[in-house]
Every structure is written in C-alpha cells, then in structure tokens.
Amino acid sequence: MERLVEVSEPEVRLDFALNCKCRANVRLRSLCATTPIAFKVQTSSPNKFLVNPPCGLIPPLSYATFQIILKPQIQLPPTFPRSPSDRFLIKTAKFVSSSVESTRQDSINSWFSTIPYVSTQDLKLKVAFVGPILLLHAVRCGDLDAVRSLIKRQKSVLSELSPREAESLLRVATELVTSEEMVNLLVEAGLKIETRVKLDNASFPADSSKGWSEVHVAVAFDRKDEMLSLIRMRGYVSLDSSDKEGRTILHLAASKGSIKCAKVLLESGADANARSKDGRTALYRAAANGDRRMVGMLIESGADPTIPNDRGRSPLDVARDKGHKKVVETLERGEAVLMAAMRGELERLETLLRKGADISYRDQYGLTALHAAAMKGHRDATLMLVAYGVDLDCQDNEGHAPLHLAVHSGSMETIEVLVDKGADVNAKSAKGTTSLYIAGALGYDDISQFLISRGAHSSDVTC
C-alpha cells in the first residue's frame, strides 16, 4: 500500500521542565495528490499527555501540524532521553466523506470507527525527553551515556545556556570522580565557559522585606535569562508563588512592563488570572499602567478582562478612568474578535462575543469581523457573527460589503448564509462593483446563478 503521509520526525522531543506544561509540534505531510487525508493521534499514556488537535484533515500534498503537550510533572522522568513506556500512534486514511459536518474533529474521530481497519495506515512516534534540567541531572549522576544522548538529540542545549547555567553545569561536572572525562565531553560538545555576572543581593534590599523569591528579584530587574535559568535549572514548585502582598511573579512582570519575562512565565504555565490580596490581576496592573503591548499579550494568553478587583473595578474600568484610549480599545477586544473571525477560531470567537467584545471594531482598512470571516470563507464564523447582530451590509474603506468578499473567496456556503440572512445582493462598492460582477469576473458560474436566483440584477454583470 502506498504511503499516505510522512512525519517530520520519528521521535517527539520534549524540552522537559518540572511543574510546567511541555510542548512539541509534529508536522505531517500528505503524499496523496487527489484526496484529503484524515489523521487521528493516540497516546499510550493519556494520563500524561494531551494532543491538540487529536485528529484532523490534511489537504492533498499539503501539511498539518498537531501539538503534543506533556502535563506538568512533579518528578523527573524515570528514564531519559528515551521513554520506553510513552508512545504515540498516528492513524491515517483517505477521507472520502462528502458531508461538510464531517470535517469537524468529533465527526472525524467518529468516522475512523466506521472504516475497516485494513484501510488505515499507522505511524508510530517514540518519545524523548531533553532539556537543561535533565542534562544537569545526568551530569550530577556522572552518566556519560545519558549526557551524550541528550546532546545528540538537542545539539543546541549547550550553546543556548546562559552564563549562569553554564557555570553551574561546569561546577557540578568538576565535582565528579570522572570529572576530566565529563568536562571534556561538555566542552567538546560546545559548552561556553564565561565569567558569570552574579546577582548582588545587597543591591536588592526589598527582597526579604517584600517576601520575594529569587525569581521575583530577576523579574523586578527585567532579567529574563536569569529568571529562565532559575525556572529551568532549579525546578521551582510553583510559578504562582506570591509575595507578602499576594503578588505573583507574573503580577510583578506586568507591573514592571517586562513583557519578555511575562511571556516566558505564561508559556511555562503561570496562571494568567491569579489575583493578589487586593483582587488585582496582572491584566489589571498592565491596564492601569497604560501598557497596551502587555495588555494585548496577556489577553492573547487567556487573561480574562472581566475579572474585577476587590472594589469591583475591572481592567477596562481603570483604563477608562485613566484615559488610556489604546488600552481601552484592546480591552474591548474588537481586534481579537476580528482575528478570531479571520482564523475561523470558533471557540475563541464565541467566548469573546459572549463576554461582550466589541463587534463593530474596524481595522485600518475598515474591515469588520464579518468582512474577515466572509473573505476567508468561514461559514460558521459568519453565521455566529450574524446571530450576534453584526450589520450584514457594513462597508469597508472601499465600500465592499461582506457579501462582496464572500463571493471573492468562492465560498458558496458563506454566500448562502449572508443572503439567507438578508444581505443586499445588489449592494455596490465605492466603484460601483456588485457581487454578481465579481462572480462573473472570476468565472464562478454557480455563484452567479445563485445570486440571480436571489434577485441580483443581471444587468450588473459588467462594471
């Protein structure tokens, strides 16, 4: 049987860290030129791993990516780099269903159970754990074979170490009985030995009085590398540890405007919505400071703009009170609605709309979320926006209505939604272009016939 897909790597390599979610992307490439390929990913350890998305479709000769997520672990893997007990199975098959609904994940998952086993092809993925914390452990144990194997699988692990990490690794290696052999291995593999600039505790008098950890201190002075070193090499129990005022490390990063530190914290599993003793979230603090970049990044990472402080004031309230107009626009989440509509991210779009996000937001070209969904041919996103009362005939800067852009995309399903809900089939752009003209110019005969059947003026086929 001919191969249907190929996988980017036969082994999933996860950069391991304690008490954090660890992620790795796997890319599949379709080898079939005529038919979409359905895939479904299964794991031997569902208590440890998540797969997102667990199934999907790959267009002919195209690509699809899924992410493997290791749930936060409180102990190091019993064996590494290779993990003999953790494996993934990718089932693939030619997708022959004609149902639109069957392109949904739950339908694809069900579809696999209806086809004969012989019609599927299976790919197996092994799991390997890599990363600085495992390298340090292997060096501390004097396990030369494990060190070699880790470096072989992750060649960048040594070159990307900070001076602090490199010195720590070297100090541990020199304390071994086999120190000469271990040090030579590390140096030959690319370990950079530099003089580390130490943190001078005397310059941080607020450390003990405020109840700050070393990570708090690093973030307070926007030292991302120092913070990352502490997180990765020491395996802190909680990234949400708080100081005497209940402020987490993320609160401090938001207050100081340390966006790089904040991103690392969130990617490592910090709670985006943790509240300090006064009820403030990191988003509230960023909004109060008028820090639009920080506000936008926090919202994209899942921060909830509706959480109030202990006085009932939300991030949007404080931004309005202080006159931070750009932050107010971001918090109203109009831009987020437009991007979710453009990407067809239905769950995110529904969450934003349900929480009262601004559906009238326009970008620099005058595009609304409905324009964005229509031009990308996202039928379900279009239907959702219409249900929330978006103006069907709103116009962008060039006078294009969403129907114009839906026709341009060639998506009959999206066109039908707009027309069925009352969009003007004879609406004209600023240059007098109609949807029927666009359909004719692009050779979409079926769309042209549909528009004419719904009242489009056939005299408008030229412009």
371-429 residue pLDDT tens: 999 999 999 999 999 999 889 999 999 999 999 999 999 999 999 999 999 999 999 99
Strand partners, 94: 37
Cβ–Cβ under 8 Å, residues 425 and 451: yes
How many Cα atoms occupy the beta-carbon half-sphere of 139 within 13 Å? 30
- CA 96 to each of CA 30, 38, 82, 103, 360: distance values in angstroms, whole numbers, following the listed order: 15, 9, 37, 11, 40
Token pair recorded at residue 212: 């700050």
CB atoms within 10 A of CB 408: 18
Per DSSP, the three-state class of 384 is helix
- CA 208 to each of CA 167, 214, 329: distance values in angstroms, whole numbers, following the listed order: 26, 10, 39
pLDDT given for residue 97 in this prediction: 65
Q: Is the dihedral of CA 246, 249, 254, 258 positive or negative?
A: positive
Cβ–Cβ under 8 Å, residues 334 and 325: no
pLDDT given for residue 193 in this prediction: 56
Per DSSP, the three-state class of 178 is coil
What CA–CA distance (Å, rounded) separates 196 from 168?
A: 10
What CA–CA distance (Å, rounded) separates 338 from 335?
A: 5
What CA–CA distance (Å, rounded) separates 279 from 15?
A: 34
Q: DSSP label at 72?
A: P
What CA–CA distance (Å, rounded) separates 455 from 309?
A: 54
Q: Nearest Cα to 37, choosing from 106, 111, 88, 89?
A: 111
Domains in the chain, ordered, with CATH?
5-128 (2.60.40.10), 133-188 (no CATH), 211-323 (1.25.40.20), 334-461 (1.25.40.20)
- The percent of the chain in helix, strand and coil, each rounded to the nearest 5, is 45, 15, 45
In the sheet that 49-52 helps form, which strands lie side by side, from edge to edge?
A: 5-7, 22-30, 63-70, 49-52
Tell me the per-residue pLDDT of 289-347, one tens digit each, with 9 for 90 and over.
999 899 988 887 878 777 889 999 989 889 989 999 888 887 877 777 888 899 999 99
Q: How many helices (H) and strands (E) does the chain have?
A: 22, 9
Between 412-420 and 445-453, two packed helices, what is the crossing angle to 10 degrees? 10
Q: Tell me if the bond preceding 402 is cis, omega within 30° of 0.
A: no
Strand partners, 63: 29
Q: pTM for the full model?
A: 0.44
pLDDT lower than 50: segments of the chain: 99-101, 194-209, 236-237, 461-463
Q: Nearest Cα to 19, choosing from 269, 306, 363?
A: 269
Q: Nearest Cα to 94, choosing from 126, 65, 116, 77?
A: 116
